[in-house]
């Protein structure tokens, strides 16, 4: 099964965020923001950040370079890129706090999405530009700039958070498995890339803060702050399975319009021009005539642009090289603890998903033998059945050839209720003739007392699964939820 990140073969899980109390209408008071009662200005407060600004800048630049390698980023000579860079600079000048070295680029992708990496790189999809007017585009970019200013990814690194993994091309986080410091930290930040694009995971509290600070940046830069929430509301009305990637990665914190209105009602009155500038109109004319890549086209692009001939694969791995020892070690996490063979290794130990596997069973972009353990938050009232169906559907969608064998069945794990289902897939292990072997995956999901989900996927080639089953069963029996 493909490993979505060198830190682990991360499960492609749906983000089910728990409910969050909205800021009161009278006064903004979030984790990292307050509002001056007299002037109405948004004030940054000290947050708990686990990475220094320089580490964030280094990490963001490293990752941005790899995004440019794997995604169809428009050249800096493009009129679209030039306009976005000018707009980004205008907005960034109004951002408070530390002066981050912002960089702005455009990805030739149809999906409506934008994301900011720690330290300053901001990427906007061409599809977003084709859909938005000038003020709406400014709102999207001000929102992403705010995530950087508030250091959301760096502040949340090391906390239990859900990482949604996209695509089937594996990791681009160089060195994350094998000890590269920056790569390992990036893996903690919930940044993933694949055939569907980029996923940046934020909480509802993060989204509210980005809305509030983004609205002030827009106001100061001369754009109507309501354009931001109007655009988000416009996206939300699409609904259904075709929800824009931007909303999938940025959970709706509630009544955005009311939150922004309460935040800026004390600002001095200002008239905002909602007509597009001549510069935007000229750029938009170019953008609208460009062909933005669909997800299938992007997947094909990545296949032809990201192949690594030096990437190792567990070709013809001998079963004796991956067999577990008779001794065990224990991994303790916030959500669970689990025993595993002491001759296997833990990859991605700081993220919300880890892979436990023998070194011979893991390559740079795939795991052939081992187990993946993930924790995810759920919305209040989400049942274990619903969460399990979503995990199965996502695994099937994001892994070529993977299919569940029947429906999930009830299982008892240490007295707790769980669900179990077998899946088949295509193993990265190849036979003597170079053909790919069939893979067997065993998914088990459990629900913690707070409603969150812990899931485990045990993986091996079909021909070797029974030999590893006793070790897999011991790991499951040792699993303790907290």
| pLDDT band at residue 105 using 50, 70 and 90 as cut-offs | very high
For residue 8, pLDDT beyond 50: no
Evaluate if residue 21 carries a pLDDT over 70. no
- pLDDT, one tens digit per residue, over 378-389 is 777 889 999 899
User: Tell me, what's the pLDDT at 186?
Assistant: 35
Residue owning tokens 């922004």: 260
Tens-digit pLDDT profile for residues 49-94: 767 888 888 878 877 887 887 789 999 889 999 999 999 999 999 9
Angstrom distance (rounded) from CA 442 to CA 422: 5
Give, for 410, the enclosing helix (H) or strand (E): strand 403-413
Q: What is the model's pLDDT at position 17?
A: 22
- Which long-range contacts (C-beta less than 8 Å, at least 24 apart) are formed by 464-470? 464/319, 464/322, 464/369, 465/440, 467/319, 467/323, 468/322, 468/323, 468/324, 468/369
Q: How confident is the model at residue 1 (pLDDT cuts 50, 70, 90)?
A: low
Give the range with max mean pLDDT: 129-138, 297-306, 366-375.
Answer: 129-138
Helix axes 278-288, 79-92, angle to 10 degrees: 140
Percent of the chain clearing pLDDT 90 (strictly above): 35
Task: For residues 375 and 196, give the distance between their C-alpha atoms in angstroms, rounded to a whole number.
Answer: 22
Q: How far apart are CA 233 and CA 366, in angstroms?
A: 38
CA distance 131 to 63: 27
- Strand 121-125 and strand 103-107: the pairing is parallel
Residue 194 has pLDDT above 70, yes or no: no
| Res. 95: pLDDT tops 50 | yes
233 Cβ contact partners less than 8 Å away, ≥ 6 residues apart: 256, 257
Phi, psi dihedrals of residue 348, rounded to the nearest 5°: 75, 40
At 403, the pLDDT band (50, 70, 90 cuts) reads very high
Q: Is the pLDDT of residue 467 over 90?
A: yes
Phi then psi for residue 169, to 5 deg, are -105, 0
Is the pLDDT score of 238 beyond 80? no
What pLDDT is stored for residue 69 in this prediction?
76
What are the tokens at 317?
């791995």
Helical H segments across 355-448, by residue range: 384-398
Higher pLDDT, 137 or 165: 137
> Which residue, 17, 101, 14, 23, is CA-closest to 265?
23
User: What pLDDT score was predicted for residue 203?
Assistant: 73
Per-residue confidence band for 370, with pLDDT thresholds at 50, 70 and 90:
very high
- What's the DSSP call for residue 467? H
Given this model, what pLDDT does residue 336 score? 92
- In sequence order, the 6+-apart residues with CB closer than 8 A to the CB of 206 are 147, 150, 152, 156
- Residue (of 212, 210, 207, 222) closest to 94 by Cα position: 222
pLDDT score of 264: 76
Phi-psi label, residue 329: left if phi above 0, alpha if psi -120 to 50, beta otherwise: beta
Residue 78: alpha-carbon gap to chain centroid: 28
CA distance linking residue 37 with residue 334, whole number of Å: 38
Please work out, in degrees rounded to the nearest 5, the angle formed at the alpha carbon of residue 127 by the alpha carbons of 123 and 133: 95
Q: Residue 57 is inside which H or E element, if any?
A: helix 53-70
The mean per-residue pLDDT over the stretch 142-163 comes to 69
> What's the chain's average pLDDT?
76
Closest C-alpha among 19, 18, 12, 228 to residue 114? 228
At 330 the pLDDT is 93
Three-state DSSP state, 472: helix
Tell me what pLDDT residue 352 has. Answer: 62
Range of weakest confidence among 169-178, 237-246, 334-343:
169-178
CA gap 317, 365 in Å, rounded: 15
Kindly give the residue spans of alpha helices, DSSP state H, lying in 352-461: 384-398
Question: Which domains, and CATH codes, for the chain?
Answer: 33-301 (no CATH), 319-481 (3.40.1000.10)
- Report pLDDT for 28: 43
Question: pLDDT tens-digit profile of 312-367?
Answer: 444 456 788 899 998 999 999 888 999 999 999 887 654 567 889 888 887 645 78
CA distance 316 to 203: 42
What is the mean predicted confidence (pLDDT) over 400-414? Answer: 90
Note the helical H segments in 132-180.
134-149, 152-156
pLDDT digits (tens, 9 = 90+) for 261-281: 777 777 787 887 778 999 999
Highest mean pLDDT among 187-191, 302-306, 344-348: 344-348
Q: Per-residue DSSP letters for 173-224?
A: -TTTTTT-HHHHHHHHTTEEEETTEEEE---HHHHHHHHHHHHHHHHHHT--
Is residue 47 within 8 A of residue 213, CB to CB? The reply is no
CA 86-236-165 angle, to 5 degrees, is 80
Q: In whole angstroms, what is the distance from residue 7 CA to residue 393 CA?
A: 23
| Pairwise CA distance, residues 345 & 356, whole Å | 6
pLDDT of residue 452 exceeding 80: yes
Q: How far apart are CA 400 and CA 416, in angstroms?
A: 32
Give the total residue count for the chain.
Answer: 482
């Amino acid at each position: 099964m493909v490993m979505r990140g060198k830190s682990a073969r991360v499960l492609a899980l749906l983000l089910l965020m728990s409910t969050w109390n909205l800021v009161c209408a009278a006064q903004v008071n979030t984790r990292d923001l307050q509002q001056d009662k007299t002037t109405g200005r948004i004030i940054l407060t000290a947050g708990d950040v686990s990475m220094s600004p320089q580490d964030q800048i280094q990490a963001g630049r490293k990752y941005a370079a790899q995004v440019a390698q794997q995604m169809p980023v428009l050249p800096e000579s493009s009129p679209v890129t030039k306009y976005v860079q000018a707009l980004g600079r205008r907005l960034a000048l109004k951002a408070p706090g530390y002066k981050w070295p912002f960089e702005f680029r455009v990805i030739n992708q149809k999906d409506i999405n934008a994301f900011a990496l720690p330290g300053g790189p901001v990427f906007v999809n061409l599809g977003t530009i084709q859909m938005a007017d000038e003020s709406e585009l400014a709102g999207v970019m001000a929102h992403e700039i705010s995530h950087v200013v508030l250091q959301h990814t760096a502040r949340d690194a090391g906390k239990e958070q859900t990482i949604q993994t996209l695509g089937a091309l594996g990791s681009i986080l160089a060195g994350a498995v094998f000890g590269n410091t920056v790569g390992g930290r990036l893996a903690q930040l919930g940044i993933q890339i694949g055939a569907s694009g980029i996923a940046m995971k934020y909480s509802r509290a993060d989204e509210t803060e980005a809305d509030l600070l983004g609205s002030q940046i827009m106001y100061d830069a001369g754009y109507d702050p309501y354009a931001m929430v109007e655009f988000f509301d416009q996206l939300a009305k699409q609904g259904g399975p075709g929800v824009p990637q931007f909303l999938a990665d940025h959970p709706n914190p509630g009544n955005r319009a009311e939150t922004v209105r309460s935040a800026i009602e004390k600002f001095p009155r200002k008239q905002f021009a909602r007509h597009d500038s001549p510069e935007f109109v000229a750029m938009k004319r170019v953008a609208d005539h460009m062909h933005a890549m669909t997800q299938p086209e992007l997947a094909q692009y990545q296949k032809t642009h990201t192949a690594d001939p030096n990437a190792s694969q567990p070709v013809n791995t001998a079963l004796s090289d991956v067999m577990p020892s008779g001794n065990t070690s224990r991994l303790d996490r916030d959500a669970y603890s689990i025993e595993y063979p002491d001759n296997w290794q833990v990859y991605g130990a700081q993220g919300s998903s880890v892979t436990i596997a023998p070194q011979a069973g893991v390559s740079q972009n795939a795991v052939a033998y081992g187990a993946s353990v993930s924790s995810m938050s759920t919305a209040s009232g989400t049942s274990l059945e619903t969460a399990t169906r979503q995990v199965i559907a996502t695994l099937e969608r994001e892994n070529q050839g993977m299919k569940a064998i029947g429906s999930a069945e009830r299982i008892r794990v240490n007295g707790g209720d769980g669900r179990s289902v077998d899946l088949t897939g295509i193993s990265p292990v190849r036979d003597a003739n170079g053909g790919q072997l069939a893979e067997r995956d065993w998914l088990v999901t459990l629900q913690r007392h707070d409603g969150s989900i812990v899931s485990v996927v045990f993986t091996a080639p079909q021909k070797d699964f029974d030999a590893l089953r006793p070790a897999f069963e011991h790991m499951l029996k040792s699993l303790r939820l907290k």
